[in-house]
């Protein structure tokens, strides 16, 4: 199936067939990372710019690794060392970068909607690597890829997402993606961290973490996004861990072959205990490995062949 998009901005605008296409392409890409020589010439001569206005370890590095495994050239620009500090706007920055003729710009920004602003103005492919509290589509795609790889399907699975849903762009994109592919999603967290009307996103809400975990095929834990909160939304991290943290006793309530996931970075002992994070059901590092394959697939589908 052909993929005719210029940009990857969110999960909402993708059809389930397009999601399948991306996941299938990623499955083909994955083995490249396990070869002795981890490089193919697919995107030779292409240029990818990584424009990150927020910190990142996994997303930025895996886009960089993904592009280089496809032989594209990558260049990074960070907020603190860019002319943003001299008053240049995001659009002016992006237009100047576009003048250097990149094929794709991967952007992470604290403002929801920033990637859309660029997508409408630039001819380079724009890939949303996380915008404010709005969306993190490549995280959702790698999460779906990882679950599909482990379970052989997405439809019919029950997914529990627990934590700071309000401030999590991962939660929004995951709820959209998993429900689009036929899974059911249940969310749970403190009342101050569940957005009003979360049901409209397609998720069911429950009050107690035990209820969310009971029988779940997948349990996805989220960190408390302090950097996006105005004031403290919980009495203490210790109290949060006691009421909402995933420990071995709570994990035992899930399906016997549960997958424990976390987009990272994890806060050990807060939302997830070390025994669970490092335990036999944890696939947290598989998510990171698969992030490279999914981002290779996206770069290939969006950039490969464009302008030929
Ligand atoms: N999952 C994720 O977005 O991690 P980083 O913030 O390290 O990129």
Q: Which residues pair with 221 in a beta bridge?
A: 162
Q: Note the pLDDT of residue 264.
A: 96
The answer to whether 221 and 271 are in contact (CB under 8 A) is: yes
Q: What is the pLDDT of residues 37-81, one digit of tens each?
A: 999 999 999 999 999 999 999 999 999 999 999 999 999 998 998
**Measured from the CA of 291, which atom of ligand 1 is nearest?**
1
Q: How sure is the predictor about 308, in pLDDT bands with cuts at 50, 70 and 90?
A: very low
Q: Note the pLDDT of residue 219.
A: 98
The answer to whether 74 and 48 are in contact (CB under 8 A) is: yes
Q: What is the pLDDT of residues 272-281, one digit of tens each?
A: 999 999 999 9
Return the residue whose CA atom lies nearest to atom 4 of ligand 1: 58
- 261 alpha carbon – ligand 1 mean position (Å): 13
CA angle 258, 261, 266 (to 5 degrees): 140
Q: Note the pLDDT of residue 4.
A: 86
- 308 alpha carbon – ligand 1 mean position (Å): 33
CA 150, CA 152: separation in Å to the nearest integer?
A: 6
264 lines ligand 1 (CB under 6 A): yes
Residue keyed to tokens 């630039």: 122
Radius of gyration of the chain (CA): 19
**Measured from the CA of 59, which atom of ligand 1 is nearest?**
8
Q: What is the pLDDT of residues 23-42, one digit of tens each?
A: 999 999 999 999 999 999 99
Rounded to the nearest integer, the mean pLDDT of the chain is: 95
Q: Which of 140, 262, 264 to mutate to test the pocket of ligand 1 (most atoms within 8 A of CB)?
A: 264
**Structure-block tokens of residue 138:** 């490549």
**Structure-block tokens of residue 149:** 């790889």
**Measured from the CA of 54, which atom of ligand 1 is nearest?**
6
Q: How many Cβ atoms sit within 10 Å of the Cβ of residue 233? A: 18
Q: What is the DSSP string of 74-104?
A: EEEEEGGGSGGGGT--HHHHHHHHHTT--SE
- 23 alpha carbon – ligand 1 mean position (Å): 20
Return the residue whose CA atom lies nearest to atom 5 of ligand 1: 56
CA 109, CA 113: separation in Å to the nearest integer?
A: 9
- 56 alpha carbon – ligand 1 mean position (Å): 5
Q: What is the pLDDT of residues 172-196, one digit of tens each?
A: 999 999 999 999 999 999 998 999 9
Q: Note the pLDDT of residue 306.
A: 60
CA 198, CA 37: separation in Å to the nearest integer?
A: 46
3-state secondary structure (DSSP) of residue 47: strand
CA 254, CA 223: separation in Å to the nearest integer?
A: 20
263 lines ligand 1 (CB under 6 A): yes
The answer to whether 273 and 246 are in contact (CB under 8 A) is: yes
Q: What is the pLDDT of residues 204-231, one digit of tens each?
A: 999 999 999 999 999 999 998 878 777 7
**Structure-block tokens of residue 54:** 């927020």
139 lines ligand 1 (CB under 6 A): yes
Q: How sure is the predictor about 307, in pLDDT bands with cuts at 50, 70 and 90?
A: very low
The model's pTM: 0.96
Q: Which residues pair with 259 in a beta bridge?
A: 218
62 lines ligand 1 (CB under 6 A): no
**Measured from the CA of 55, which atom of ligand 1 is nearest?**
6
The answer to whether 173 and 146 are in contact (CB under 8 A) is: no
Residues present in the chain in total? 308
Q: How many Cβ atoms sit within 10 Å of the Cβ of residue 220? A: 26
Q: Which of 62, 108, 110, 139 to mutate to test the pocket of ligand 1 (most atoms within 8 A of CB)?
A: 139
161: closest CA among 147, 82, 20? 147
57 lines ligand 1 (CB under 6 A): yes
Contacts of 59 (CB under 8 A, 6+ apart): 108, 129, 130, 136, 138, 139, 291
- 161 alpha carbon – ligand 1 mean position (Å): 17
């Amino acid at each position: 199936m052909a993929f005719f998009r210029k940009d990857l901005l969110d999960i909402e605008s993708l059809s389930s067939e397009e999601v399948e296409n991306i996941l299938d392409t990623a499955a083909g890409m994955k083995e490249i990372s396990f070869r002795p020589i981890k490089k193919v010439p697919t995107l030779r001569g292409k240029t990818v710019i990584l424009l990150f206005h927020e910190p990142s370890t996994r997303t930025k590095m895996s886009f960089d690794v993904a592009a280089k495994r496809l032989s594209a050239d990558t260049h990074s620009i960070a907020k603190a060392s860019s002319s943003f500090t001299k008053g240049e706007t995001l659009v002016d920055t992006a237009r100047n970068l576009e003048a250097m003729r990149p094929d794709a710009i991967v952007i992470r920004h604290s403002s929801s909607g920033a990637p859309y602003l660029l997508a409408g103005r630039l001819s380079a492919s724009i890939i949303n690597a996380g915008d404010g509290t709005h969306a993190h589509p490549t995280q959702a795609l790698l999460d779906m890829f990882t679950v599909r790889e482990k379970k052989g399907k997405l439809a019919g699975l029950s997914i529990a997402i627990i934590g700071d849903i309000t401030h999590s762009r991962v939660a929004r994109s995951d709820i959209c993606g998993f429900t689009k592919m036929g899974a059911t999603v249940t969310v749970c967290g403190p009342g101050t961290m569940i957005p009003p009307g979360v049901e409209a996103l397609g998720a069911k809400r429950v009050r107690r973490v035990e209820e969310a975990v009971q029988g779940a095929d997948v349990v996805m834990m989220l960190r408390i996004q302090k950097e996006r909160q105005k004031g403290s939304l919980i009495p203490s991290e210790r109290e949060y861990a006691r009421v909402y943290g995933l420990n071995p006793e709570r994990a035992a309530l899930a399906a016997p072959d549960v997958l424990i996931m976390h987009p990272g970075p994890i806060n050990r002992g807060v939302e997830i205990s070390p025994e669970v994070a490092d335990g036999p059901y944890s696939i947290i590092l598989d998510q990171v490995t698969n992030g490279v394959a999914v981002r290779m697939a996206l770069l290939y589908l969006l950039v490969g062949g464009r302008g030929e």
